[in-house]
Amino acid sequence: MQVIKRLIIGFAGTALLASCGAGGDDQGTEYAPNMYHSVAYEPYTQITDKEAGRWVTSIEYVRDSSETNFSDHAEYHNSNYINPFHMNMRLPAPNTVSRNKSGYLPYRLKKDSLQFAAATLVSPLDTAAANAKAILADGKVLYETYCDHCHGAKGEGDGKVADKYAGVANLKGDAIKGVSEGHIFHVITMGKGLMQPHGSQVSPEDRWKIARYVKSLQAAK
Amino acid sequence: MPPDSRFVPLEVKPDTTPIMIKHFTSSLSKFLSVVTLFFLISFTGQSQSIPEDAASISAGQTLFNGNCKSCHKVHQQSVGPALKNVYERAPSIDWIKGWIRNSAKVVASGDEYGVKIFEEYKKSQMTAFTNFSDEQIMNILAYIQAETKKGPDTATAPATGAPAAGAETGGGLPANYLNVILIGMVLILVLLVIILGFLISSLKRFLDQKNLSEEDREVVHSPITASTISRSRGFIFIVTFLVAALGFKAVINGLYSVGIQQGYAPKQPIAFSHKLHAGDYEIDCKYCHTGVMKGKSATIPSVNICMNCHRAVKTESPQIQKIWQAADWNAETLSFGPNQKPIEWVRIHNLPDLAYFNHAQHVNVGGVACQTCHGPIETMDVVRQYSLLTMGWCIDCHRKTDINSKGNAYYDRLVELHNSSKPGTNMKVEDNGGLECSKCHY
């Protein structure tokens, strides 16, 4: 009997330890949990519960039960009550101009200025033959990242997503074949017809590279 | 041109029709024939203007696939109307030509039919194909006419569905059979053991009734029985050893799983499937995770990236409706509202605060594929943490991986130095300080 009791205790112990592993919704047991929970605001971690991790909290914060006072939060709390939805991230202030090494300024043309953009915008990329190959190579990689699942590898509007999303333009079609790089840049930035603006995903320089590559696709037989 | 001039071809040969009409109206009993012939004539009349030869149709097919297919289908409504019978439906062939070349102009001129279509399709303007010649447009119409006559292609849908279903059952059956066979064999073996047990006991009883010698009796009633074996020292030692060893391994495994979140696969607020998006539709990871080449975080895609497609794709799904709510998308006005709220995705991969990791350094500079750390993400319906994300796991990779120095001038001198000090070996990450504490802990 003694042996059986010990066996049961042993199995219970191992079962308990086995439950430390993660799986499904269970994150598993954290070793030294304080280290997993950042004191600084983390962009993709948000714990709004003030009491989270009270059991590992060793610092005595000033206790204050008012709604806006978060100075009494426990160890795991990671949330900025000043921001909307108490998020740790926030959008840049309106009209913020981001610094970039090429000195690109924000694109201020409106969506309906396509004709103006197509006629006036000139690619700032180097047209020297020495760099042309590198630009096209970059453009190809970017095209394969951002465009080809709809527009197809050769730009014929036959990407896999085009089966589900009707209205994907054939870049080699007669209506689009002759457009300028500025036209392509404007359409990537602002969208056109069913295509949505991709300016938030693709940087201006990358958009010009894609435009250059699309022109080379259109020229290809 | 009058707005309703769909019987234009009749005007082309006015001399034949009145005679025919006169001829047939003389007899009321043949009224039906008049109607049929009337339509027949009107049809053939139009066919004269739309070419029917194979060359025109195939030229039209090429043009249609190249320019029209993305927005128009012949038998189904797509972005634009279904083009079946368009040559009979539209006011005139000339009207179609004008519309294709510049639909905006037709709408602006206040053309009744044009404005009606423009309104019906939510004022989305058709691309202007200004360079199409009359002949090209007629070829396209020839193709549409040929397709209209052919009728909708109903055979394809079930044909594609059937083999898939067949393959599924074909793949599932053998595994099931194997299981059934295995269970059956185990059952038979258990039955055999029971039958043998009965045989032994009845044999013993039979032998006990006979007068056996002392030696034979010892054979029948062997002193070594199950109970004597289980009480022997050797048996107890082996069993204790096995239990202790297995228990020890379980304990060690359990202890090592503390602080490791491998296999963590939480339920997300929206049932997004990487298998569908990255696997089936081959959308590049970087299309949505835009930060991965530029910064520390790969970034969780913002809702506007979902809406790039999901303003139109699978909009009836309750999961997509959640995106619409988060974006405060108004499908009527096609605009985002002011009451946007973030989607609270559950973070899966989480390094402790004391370790620094940068995606751009690994993916952009190092050229490491997403799958190296995140596993076969393109096959996961629910994402789980594939890797250990322990320090040992990081170090192991830094020891084994060659530095991606190709085409990166930053590494030129370092590679030169490495080749002179350790000739004949590749420069690994550890050779460039990949094992330094302060690279990741600072």
Distance, CA of A31 to chain centre? 30
Domain boundaries, chain B: 8-150, 229-258
CB contact under 8 A, B70 and A168: yes
The CATH architecture to which B8-150 belongs is Orthogonal Bundle (1.10)
In the block, which residue shows the tokens 């006559």? B149
> Which of B61, B125, B252, B261 is the best substitution to test chain A (most A C-beta atoms within 10 A)?
B261
**Interface touch B251/A32, C-beta < 8 Å:** no
**What is the bridge-based pairing of β-strands B335-336 and B329-330?**
antiparallel
Of A22, A87, A164, the CB nearest to B342: A87
Among the listed ranges A25-39, B7-21, B115-129, B336-350, which one has the minimum average pLDDT value? Answer: B7-21
* Residue pLDDT, tens place only, A76-99: 888 888 888 888 888 889 888 888
For residue B66 the two structure tokens come to: 């190249």
**Residue contact A175–B262, C-beta within 8 A:** no
Strand, helix or coil at B71?
Answer: coil
Of the candidates B79, B251, B280, the beta carbon closest to that of A194 is on B79
Pair of tokens at residue B247: 């228990």
> What is the pLDDT, as a whole number, of residue A64?
58
User: In chain B, what residues touch A170 (CB-CB under 8 Å)?
Assistant: 66-67, 69-70
Please name the residue of chain A whose CA is at the shortest distance from the CA of residue B342.
A85
**Whole-number pLDDT of residue B30:** 55
| B297 part of contact set with chain A, CB < 8 Å | yes
Report pLDDT for B394. 94
Res. B339: pLDDT tops 60: yes
* Cβ–Cβ under 8 Å, residues A74 and A52: yes
pLDDT band at B41 (very low <50, low <70, confident <90, very high): very low
Phi, psi (deg, nearest 5) at residue B190: -60, -45
For the segment B327-340, the average pLDDT, to the nearest whole number, is 89
Residue B308: pLDDT over 50: yes
Binned at pLDDT 50, 70 and 90, residue B48 comes out as very low
Mean pLDDT value of segment B241-245: 93
Contacts of B317 (CB under 8 A, 6+ apart): none
- The answer to whether residue B234 scores a pLDDT higher than 70 is yes
Note whether B305 contacts A201, CB cutoff 8 Å. Answer: yes
Q: What are the chain A neighbours of B255 within 8 Å (beta carbons)? A: 17, 20
Neighbours of B89 (CB within 10 A): 13
Whether residue A174 contacts residue B131, with contact meaning beta carbons closer than 8 Å, is answered with yes
Q: Which pLDDT score, from 0 to 100, does residue A54 have?
A: 85
Does this complex have an ipTM over 0.90? no
Contact A146/B261, CB-based, under 8 Å? no
Segment B376-400 mean pLDDT: 93
Which pLDDT does position B206 carry in this prediction? 87
Measured between its terminal Cα atoms, the distance across chain A in Å is 85
Query: Average of pLDDT values for B52-72?
Result: 84
For an interface test with B, give the residue of A150, A183, A192, A221 to mutate (most B CBs within 10 A).
A150
- Radius of gyration (C-alpha) of chain B in whole angstroms: 39
Whole-model pTM? 0.74
Q: What is the pLDDT of residues B264-282, one digit of tens each?
A: 999 999 999 999 999 999 9
Quick check: B350 and A10 CB within 8 A?
no
pLDDT digits (tens, 9 = 90+) for A156-194: 888 999 888 888 888 988 888 889 999 999 999 999 888
* Mutate which: B67, B103, B130, B382, vs A, most A CBs within 10 A: B67
Cβ pair B354:A160 closer than 8 A: no
Contact B78 A175 (CB under 8 A): no
Q: Which fold has domain A114-219?
A: Cytochrome Bc1 Complex; Chain D, domain 2 (1.10.760)
| Predicted pLDDT of residue A164 | 86
Q: What is the DSSP string of A100-146?
A: -TT-PPP----TT-HHHHHHH----S---HHHHHHHHHHHHHHHHHH
Taking the Cβ of residue B344 and every Cβ of chain A, the question of whether any pair is shorter than 8 Å is answered with: yes
User: Which residues of chain A have a pLDDT value below 70?
Assistant: 1, 3, 7, 14, 17-18, 60-71
Read off the pLDDT of residues B181-204 as tens digits, 9 standing for 90 and up.
Answer: 999 999 999 999 999 999 988 988
Q: How far is A122 from chain B (nearest CA, A)?
A: 23
CA distance B85 to chain A (A): 21
Give me the pLDDT at residue B152, please. Answer: 78
Task: Return the residue of B nearest to A3 by Cα.
Answer: B240
CB < 8 Å & 24+ apart, contacts of B426-430: B426/B402, B427/B402, B427/B403, B428/B398, B428/B399, B428/B400, B428/B401, B428/B402, B428/B403, B429/B366, B429/B397, B429/B398, B429/B399, B429/B401, B429/B402, B429/B403, B430/B398, B430/B399
Where are chain A's structural domains? 36-91, 114-219
First to last CA, chain B: 80
* Among A174-183, B86-95, B409-418, the least confident range: B86-95
Residue scoring higher pLDDT (A130 or B168): A130
Put simply, the answer to whether B264 touches A28 (Cβ < 8 Å) is yes
Closest CA to B70 of B84, B57, B80: B80
Instruction: pLDDT band for B7, please (50, 70, 90 cuts).
Output: very low
pLDDT band for position B407 (cuts 50, 70, 90): confident
DSSP state, A201? T
Which value, in Å, is the radius of gyration of the alpha carbons in chain A? 28
Residues of A in contact with B282 (CB under 8 A): 149, 160
Q: Given this model, what pLDDT does residue A30 score?
A: 82
From the list A23, A38, A165, the residue facing B353 with the nearest CB is: A38
